[in-house]
Amino acid sequence: MAHHPPNAPILISSPDTDTLLGQLATFVVRAQTEAIDKKGKFTLALSGGSLPANLRRLIGHDGVKWEKWHVYYVDERVVPLDNPDSNHGSCHKHLFSQVPIPESQVYTIDTTLLDNLEELADDYETKLIREFAAKDSARYPVFDLILLGMGPDGHTASLFPGHELLNENDRWVAYIENSPKPPPKRITLTYLVINHAARVAFVATGKEKQDILKAVLDDPASDLPAARVKPYYPGQLYWFVDDAAAAKAEYVRTPFQM
Ligand SMILES: O=C(O)[C@H](O)[C@@H](O)[C@H](O)[C@H](O)COP(=O)(O)O
């Protein structure tokens, strides 16, 4: 596949969390509707951290077709699904337990493999291959939407500054045993997957993200993990942030079209 340069990221900054979460929900529903119109389903990958709770405005939102959703995890902590650290556990608690999404369309890690990280990552990769590679002969999975968070060190997914996984150029799903953010054992989608998505959106709030957001958005040469998210054309990157997180960034803002 010939790769075109990435589109410039679109930064949407909201005065408060409520506005931000309402816009985020509208954005997700638009992506969903476009995907369903095109191919009858919506493929989505979700992060952990604050993201699952930040999707709460989707509950009861007009136009959500939960039965068409196919949900994967951007990264997952290698713990049982009912462990408080589990990203699936968090998504289940904040969202999926409250909406009619078919359980079989939420793709969790295989918890019989918790003691074998390599097999666990391979198994999750096989789930992606089943979803994406079987139907069209695409070389990479093309998610309709990938939702990311960013840590104050610039990490995203379980891709941490200076870590060897930043250069993973082969696997779609990789494992990490020494994550600096606990818990240490995780699996993560790699840039091969993230940068082939149709849309990628970061959600970042609060003043503890000010400096890192400036570093990522204002320096086109930044090689921080979050700055390496550059979806290939025609993929588009969005940043949904609040004014507290955006306070130091000079990057141009785009008003959200309701
Ligand atoms: O499983 C994880 O730990 C996440 O996927 C991670 O990449 C997260 O998105 C960031 O650390 C931001 O977390 P917050 O949104 O909570 O700041």
Structure-token match 């699996």, residue found: 187
Give domain 10-246's CATH architecture.
3-Layer(aba) Sandwich (3.40)
* The pLDDT of residue 103: 96
* The pLDDT of residue 1: 46
First to last CA, the chain: 34
Q: In what order do the strands lie in the sheet with 69-73?
A: 10-14, 236-242, 199-204, 145-148, 42-46, 69-73
The H or E element that residue 200 is part of is: strand 199-204
Structure tokens at 70: 């196919």
Distance of alpha carbon 226 from alpha carbon 168, whole angstroms: 15
* The pLDDT of residue 7: 85
**DSSP helix/strand/coil, 26:** helix
The H or E element that residue 65 is part of is: none
- Ligand 1, residue 158: give the atom nearest the CA: 7
Which has the closest alpha carbon to 229: 257, 203, 205, 256? 203
Question: Contact 69/147 with Cβ under 8 angstroms?
Answer: no
Structure-token match 């992060």, residue found: 47
- The neighbouring-strand residues paired with 103 are none
Q: How far is the CA of 39 from the centre of ligand 1 (A)?
A: 30
Whether this model's ipTM surpasses 0.95 comes out as yes
* The pLDDT of residue 139: 81
pLDDT per residue of the chain (258 residues) written in tens, 0 to 9: 455 566 899 999 999 999 999 999 999 999 999 999 999 999 999 999 999 999 999 999 999 999 999 999 999 999 999 999 999 999 999 999 999 999 999 999 999 999 999 999 999 999 999 999 765 556 889 999 999 999 999 999 999 999 999 999 999 999 999 999 999 999 999 999 999 999 999 999 999 999 999 999 999 999 999 999 999 999 999 999 999 999 999 999 999 988
Q: How far is the CA of 93 from the centre of ligand 1 (A)?
A: 16
Q: How far is the CA of 156 from the centre of ligand 1 (A)?
A: 7
* The pLDDT of residue 138: 63
> Which residue has a Cα nearest atom 17 of ligand 1?
151
Choose one of 50, 73, 83, 166 to mutate for the ligand 1 pocket test, by most ligand atoms within 8 angstroms of C-beta.
50
169: exposed, middle or buried (Cβ count in 10 Å: 0-12, 13-18, 19+): exposed
18: exposed, middle or buried (Cβ count in 10 Å: 0-12, 13-18, 19+): exposed
* The pLDDT of residue 133: 78
DSSP 31: H
Distance of alpha carbon 106 from alpha carbon 62, whole angstroms: 21
Which has the closest alpha carbon to 149: 232, 103, 90? 90
